[in-house]
Amino acid sequence: MKFVQIILRGIGQVMFQNNVYSGALFLVGIFYNSYLLGLAALLGTIISTGTAQLLKFQKEDIQNGLYGFNGTLTGIAVLCFFEVNLGTVIALILGSVLSTLIMRFLKEIVPPFTAPFVVATWIVIYSLLYIFNFSVLTSKGASGNTFDLISASSNSFGQVMFQENVITGLIFILAILLNNKLMAIYAVYAAVLGSFAGWILLEIESVAVVNSGLMGYNAILCAIALTGKRWTDFLWITIAILLSTVINIGMGMTGIITLTAPFVLATWLILIVKNQQIFRH
């Protein structure tokens, strides 16, 4: 039972929710949209957490799910981009293990956030593409040419874990609200502002991309990571939301798979500007 709780905390930590019930709701939301990605999330979390336990990393960090959430995202990402076969399952396992090793390294230097997931997943995806010649799954074409703020905002929550589903997004909002009301409020604000900013900055033919939630999910993570009760926190969160959206668009224009890199970069930059000592010795 304790290991199950650790796994659920790990899933919850994808959105900074150290809460078993929040993690369970996130998992429900993923399974609602895709049972395959739900299984991938579980497998990735179990492997990344198990790796930390085998290597005897700090017990408290493991119990709080800090070695699980990057594996959660890595597991989902692999089966989101590639079909299921022996090669992709091995890639999922190796990527999840790698995310834990990178997490252990980065946490001694800088707040890692989801950087371990980003780096591990980039290594796995580009290796499968350019070394092993795997083919990326064909994504369903985005539909709609009218900006829909409600769909865009809800889908933004789902896209944090690669789920384009309005109901899944609503379940994710509920999961955050269950654990931290202020984070939930800021997260909704971020989804709305990030989506609106993406709509303004992108060409009109990209409205469907905004509606699918791809312009809001990094903003949500920025807002949750920087949540605070002061008015200055609101200012920094607003800047981070807009910055992450610009970085997201810029990285997308280069053809790089953005993942949650815009969130990580924007939040690191904000912490540096705020004169916080993010680099550790």
Question: What pTM was computed for the model?
Answer: 0.96
Q: How many domains does the chain have?
A: 2
Indicate whether 280 pLDDT > 60.
no
Q: What is the DSSP string of the chain?
A: -HHHHHHHHHHHGGGT---HHHHHHHHHHHHHH-HHHHHHHHHHHHHHHHHHHHTT--HHHHHTTTTTHHHHHHHHHHHHHS--SHHHHHHHHHHHHHHHHHHHHHTTTS--TTHHHHHHHHHHHHHHHHTS-PPPPPPPPP--SS--HHHHHHHHHHHTTT---HHHHHHHHHHHHHH-HHHHHHHHHHHHHHHHHHHHHS-GGGHHHHHTTTTTHHHHHHHHHT--SSHHHHHHHHHHHHHHHHHHHHHHHHT---TTHHHHHHHHHHHHHTT---S--
**Structural domain ending residue among the three candidates 103, 130, 157:** 130
Per-residue model confidence (pLDDT) at position 274:
86
* Statement to judge: residues 123 and 6 lie in one domain: yes
Residue 139 pLDDT grade (very low, low, confident, very high; cuts 50, 70, 90): confident
29-38, 116-125, 187-196, 204-213: least confident range = 204-213
* Statement to judge: residues 67 and 179 lie in one domain: no
Residue 281 pLDDT grade (very low, low, confident, very high; cuts 50, 70, 90): very low
Per-residue model confidence (pLDDT) at position 279:
54
Indicate whether 70 pLDDT > 80.
yes
Which structural domain, as residue segments, surrounds residue 96?
2-130
Per-residue pLDDT, averaged over 17-38, amounts to 98
CATH number of domain containing 190: 1.10.3430.10
* Statement to judge: residues 122 and 212 lie in one domain: no
Give 171 or 1, the one with higher predicted confidence: 171
List pLDDT tens digits, range 41-54: 999 999 999 999 99
* Statement to judge: residues 61 and 101 lie in one domain: yes
Give 12 or 141, the one with higher predicted confidence: 12
**Structural domain ending residue among the three candidates 99, 130, 161:** 130
Indicate whether 142 pLDDT > 80.
no
